[in-house]
Structure 1
Amino acid sequence: MASVTRPRSGSLQFWPRVRANRIYARVRRWAKQDRDGILGFAGYKAGMTHVIITDTEKTLTKGEKITIPVTIIECPPMKPLSLRFYKKTPYGSEVISELPAKKLNKELSRKLVLPNSEKTKEAPKSYDDIRLLVYTQPKLTGIGKKKPEVFELGISGDLEYAKSLLEKDITINDIFKAGNYTDIHSITTGYGFQGVVKRFGVSLKSHKSEKKRRAVGNLGPFTPRKVSWKVPQTGQHGYHTRTEYNKLVISIGSDPKDVNQDGGIVGYGLIKNDYMLIKGSVGGPKKRMIKFTKPIRQTPDVGAPEIRRISTNSKQ
């Protein structure tokens, strides 16, 4: 009998496959840019649709109409919470001071204890990095949520620019525009405790196999007397932190009528704020917060595509 040679079942790129610490992703690295600006934003995944655009140059279908799938992300404006100042130490960066914003929404008290705004604070004289602490406004959407998410955003610019961010809302148009690339940080849909067939794509054994069919043939050789971490085993599937690089921003709009589907988006409802269309799929279920940052792998922008039509047909 001929030997069967094929790649292993399941990727070893991500390990360990464990549940994320929280429902929205953590960003550990921020891109660098020469001009002043905020390096990220966040929105709520609404669903998917398709758009018809005119294909660009350097393609076989140049100038022709093509259909591409897009993900709709609702992007209500975010509010600044404070500026965080970091100092580098032999044990990593540490927060040395925080400069809070003067006006905070009352819904923020659902997430944390509101700081005393009567006490005036000043920025430290020496620091190594500044981050902007922001919170979302899910109350502006139709997902039925009031408790905001709180997280940090990287910024580029001097102290005066950073202080100016505490006085205004942050919108998606301040950071991205159509034709830009962005990195998507999300928590994937969770499926709980699953077996090796669904978790790693292991082939089913013969129906005449002894004892089990949806299992691996063996756990490895007799020696060494231990099971390798590369052997597929049952465990957590989904609800992982994942990052997708260089996703294309197809469009950014402020008129919800352009993307609201007949009868509302299934499982989400109606878009009420600014929105963004991302080419392709985005990890996570509907109503989950998605972070998008400036691309860490610098890629020239391709320019905004010419959109002929955005499908608003009901997906029911």
Structure 2
Amino acid sequence: MPEKSHPRRGSLAYTPKKRAKSQKPRIRAWPEGTSVQLLGFPGYKAGMTQIFMIDDHDESITRGQEISVPVTIIETPPVIACAIRIYGSPKDRNRAITEVWAENLSKDLTRELRTPKEYDQKEALKKAEELLEDQAGDVRLLVHTQPRKSSLSKKKPEILELQIGGDPIMDKWEYAKEALGNEIKVSDVFEEGKYVDAIAVTKGKGTEGPVQRWGVKVQPRKVQQARRHVGTLGPWRPRRIMRSVPNSGQMGYHQRTDCNKRILKMGEDGSEVTPNGGFLRYGPIREEFVMLAGSTPGTTKRLVCLRQAMRPKKGVPTSPPTITHVDTSSQQGG
């Protein structure tokens, strides 16, 4: 009789499970956008609530009926395009060859980096246009957030590099020049009903054992040693602990991507979605917001980067849904 087997405990696809270098997520891949516009936008996670909407999925057994949906509210204050970054040819696309910075940068930006006191933007634009002809391979936009406009008690902005959609590099360049130094709203990037990817750093849980971290089975009570550990650390040879052995260590605080989150609502009036007394540990929504179906990685107040869906679903509704009620009851308890 063949020996029984079962899949290993925990996926090795996310190893090594170590702490993220920064709370600011790093986006390493972008979809191929057809229109010339930004493909991503940052925001701050305010919290979760629930709404009632009309189910518009064709194959759903509750189609046309009112259903309850948990949603995440992300506050998205406008960002400012502070610089244009030009990358080299396709063979050297990972090396930035020049940058063009905006004039009259925000004073809060000095909390993040040193800004030049004397800067000739015209000379930088002239140099960039010369490089676009033969050496440039891509054009991206550097933006910084404005946390002062949100309910966060912080002043230091985050600087992110966002991809510009479209194929001709000159079209990207013209879009970047027009946006340089100006505010960009989330409504300029996304639409209601569309799907996005939410990228953020998850909630940190510190050091955990193999049972909590990998899901290994708790051993019987008659074992001589501890019960909440692995039965063996591996074979005699090779004389080392292999990477596939579940061990204790850091759990949480990892960068993760949650794919295909539907934008159910976008608005400028935060009172529409703010609970009585404000969101727990966040407060009221003061600026534009995005309502996503389901949960997103990270804790309250954490930076979440929204990106146009890399692998969009097929056969799903992409038009704005009909929302009948938004739960704004108090979350303060008592």
Q: 1:264 aligns with which of 278, 281, 285?
A: 278
Query: Would you say 1:302 and 2:302 are equivalent positions?
Result: no
Give the TM-score, by structure 2 length.
0.90
Per the alignment, residue 199 of structure 1 pairs with 213
Q: What's the CA shift for 1:29? A: 1.3
Checking the alignment, whether the CA contact within 8 Å between 2:93 and 2:138 is kept in structure 1 is no
Per the alignment, residue 184 of structure 1 pairs with 198
Per the alignment, residue 139 of structure 1 pairs with 148
Per the alignment, residue 42 of structure 2 pairs with 42
Unaligned runs of at least 5 residues, structure 2: none
Per the alignment, residue 129 of structure 2 pairs with 124
- Structure 1 residues 147-162: aligned runs within 5 Å: 147-157=156-166, 158=171, 159-162=173-176
SS of corresponding position for 2:163 = strand
Per the alignment, residue 29 of structure 1 pairs with 29
Structure 1 117/66 Cα, relative in aligned 2: closer, same or farther at 3 Å?
farther
Q: Cα deviations across residues 42-87 of structure 1 (Å, max 9, x unaligned)?
A: 0000110111000113211011011111111000000111000110
Q: Cα deviations across residues 207-262 of structure 1 (Å, max 9, x unaligned)?
A: 23212111111112333333221110011111111112111111111111111111
Question: Which deviates further from its counterpart, 222-231 or 107-116?
Answer: 222-231
- Percent identity of paired positions between Structure 1 and Structure 2: 38
Structure 1 92/210 Cα, relative in aligned 2: closer, same or farther at 3 Å?
farther
Per the alignment, residue 99 of structure 1 pairs with 100
Question: Which deviates further from its counterpart, 228-237 or 116-125?
Answer: 116-125
Q: 2:187 aligns with which of 173, 180, 186?
A: 173
Unaligned runs of at least 5 residues, structure 1: none
Q: Cα deviations across residues 2-21 of structure 1 (Å, max 9, x unaligned)?
A: 97644322122211111111
Checking the alignment, whether the CA contact within 8 Å between 2:90 and 2:137 is kept in structure 1 is no
Counterparts of 2:165 and 2:92, CA distance in 1: 24
Q: What's the CA shift for 1:200? A: 0.8
Counterparts of 1:269 and 1:200, CA distance in 2: 35
Question: Which deviates further from its counterpart, 204-213 or 139-148?
Answer: 204-213
Checking the alignment, whether the CA contact within 8 Å between 1:100 and 1:117 is kept in structure 2 is no
Counterparts of 1:94 and 1:194, CA distance in 2: 39
- Structure 1 residues 244-283: aligned runs within 5 Å: 244-283=258-297
Per the alignment, residue 330 of structure 2 pairs with 314
Q: Cα deviations across residues 188-212 of structure 1 (Å, max 9, x unaligned)?
A: 1111221111111122222232121
Checking the alignment, whether the CA contact within 8 Å between 1:133 and 1:153 is kept in structure 2 is yes
